């Protein structure tokens, strides 16, 4: 029996992605003894990871069916081949669904090499995305891992949607946050949920609670970066959390926007409803915006369940301790007022002065 010899070399790019390079030699009918035809291919074998948008996928998708990612570095196989065309037999046995010509192999090799050259971080950029679902997310320079909370913290309060996602979000809040932020985040959800009910429109209550639970986690040291606004740290944490659970990109983007924009006026009203609801819930609990028109019975019930003990002073201190190591991230935001209050001789930024002091000179008339 004539045999086809195949050698595989596997290169690990990351924990999720590896490149497998195959070299196969096929005996050719009618050629002199010992004559073989070499074929090489490089394919990406990954755990649910796909190439970024813009890279031709069809050859790679074909190549992914050739071998299962169970072989090890340098392992060799002897594929038995019978019949008149031994090369074709070998190809069919290696890939039962479709005959792949040598040129297709070579095309796969060049396509995959190009994909790796385009992005050495394809696993991070494409994690959780399907082949035809592009992601516009831009990753932070330093990713702060979001752990799974301990089981004893994974429980939700009455009135909160009871799902695996909300239980874990509540668990993270309880395990890693502070009492003032825990109560604040729950009140924000109940204010926002009631506002959503009053609109008469459909909204995602599960996602709304997750946003409320995460919106201030960027103030907590475990989730606080050295260079980003605390709102962005919180938004990046919720994105990581939702991606881990395979939540679709559209819902993730809504959550990211809601949290990143929850201190920024004038934008949320033109975003998905959940974004506006979170913003208004935060504004009511922190600043009292809408207090007079909010149902008094709901206010009483929620504040009884989640008290505002010395809240005004404690929330200001929580803000400051969340970004005192990076006050520059508060410039031109409401958070700069916190820095101005707590930091002695803090010089508040002035947009007008910066415009006037720009190094550019006026052009002559």
Supply the DSSP symbol for 32.
P
Which range is least confidently modeled, 30-39, 107-116, 288-297?
107-116
pLDDT exceeds 60 at position 85: no
Which range is least confidently modeled, 9-13, 170-174, 186-190, 296-300?
9-13
CATH 1.20.58 describes domain 153-356: no
Q: Where are the domains of the chain?
A: 2-126, 153-356
The pLDDT assigned to 267 comes to: 98
The pLDDT assigned to 319 comes to: 97
CA angle 126, 123, 127 (to 5 degrees): 40
Cα–Cα distance between 179 and 183 in angstroms, integer?
6
| Order of strands across the sheet that contains 36-46 | 36-46, 17-27, 2-12, 76-81
The pLDDT assigned to 138 comes to: 87
Which of residues 184 and 90 earns the better pLDDT score? 184
The model's pTM is 0.65
Query: Between β-strands 36-46 and 76-81, what pairing exists: parallel, antiparallel or unpaired?
Result: unpaired
pLDDT exceeds 80 at position 181: yes
The pLDDT assigned to 142 comes to: 84
Which range is least confidently modeled, 138-152, 218-232, 309-323?
138-152
pLDDT exceeds 60 at position 222: yes
């Amino acid at each position: 029996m004539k045999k086809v010899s195949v050698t595989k070399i596997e290169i690990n790019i990351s924990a999720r992605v590896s490149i497998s390079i195959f070299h196969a030699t096929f005996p050719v009918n009618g050629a002199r003894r010992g004559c073989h035809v070499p074929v090489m291919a490089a394919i990406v074998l990954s755990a649910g990871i796909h190439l970024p948008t813009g890279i031709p996928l069809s050859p790679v998708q074909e190549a992914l069916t050739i071998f299962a990612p169970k072989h090890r570095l340098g392992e060799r196989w002897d594929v038995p081949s019978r019949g008149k065309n031994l090369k074709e037999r070998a190809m069919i046995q290696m890939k039962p669904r479709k005959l792949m010509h040598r040129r297709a192999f070579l095309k796969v090799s060049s396509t995959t090499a190009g994909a790796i050259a385009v992005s050495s971080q394809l696993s991070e950029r494409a994690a959780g995305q399907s082949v035809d679902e592009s992601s516009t997310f831009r990753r932070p320079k330093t990713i702060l891992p979001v752990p799974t909370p301990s089981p004893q913290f994974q429980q939700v309060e009455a009135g909160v949607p009871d799902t695996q996602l909300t239980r874990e979000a509540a668990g993270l809040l309880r395990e890693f946050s502070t009492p003032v932020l825990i109560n604040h985040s729950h009140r924000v959800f109940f204010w926002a949920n009631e506002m959503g009910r009053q609109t008469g429109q459909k909204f995602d209550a599960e996602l709304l609670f997750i946003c409320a639970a995460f919106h201030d986690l960027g103030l907590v040291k475990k989730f606080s970066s050295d260079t980003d606004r605390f709102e962005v740290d919180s938004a990046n944490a919720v994105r990581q959390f939702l991606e881990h659970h395979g939540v679709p990109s559209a819902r993730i983007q809504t959550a990211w926007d809601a949290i990143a924009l929850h201190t920024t006026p004038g934008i949320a009203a033109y975003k998905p409803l959940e974004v506006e609801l979170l913003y208004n819930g935060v504004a009511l609990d922190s600043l009292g915006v809408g207090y007079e028109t909010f149902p008094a019975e709901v206010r009483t019930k929620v504040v009884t369940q989640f008290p505002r003990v010395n809240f005004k002073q404690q929330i200001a201190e929580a803000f400051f301790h969340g970004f005192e190591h990076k006050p520059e991230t508060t410039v031109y935001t409401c958070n700069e007022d916190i820095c101005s209050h707590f930091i002695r001789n803090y010089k508040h930024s002035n947009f007008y002065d910066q415009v006037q002091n720009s190094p550019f000179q006026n052009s002559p008339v």
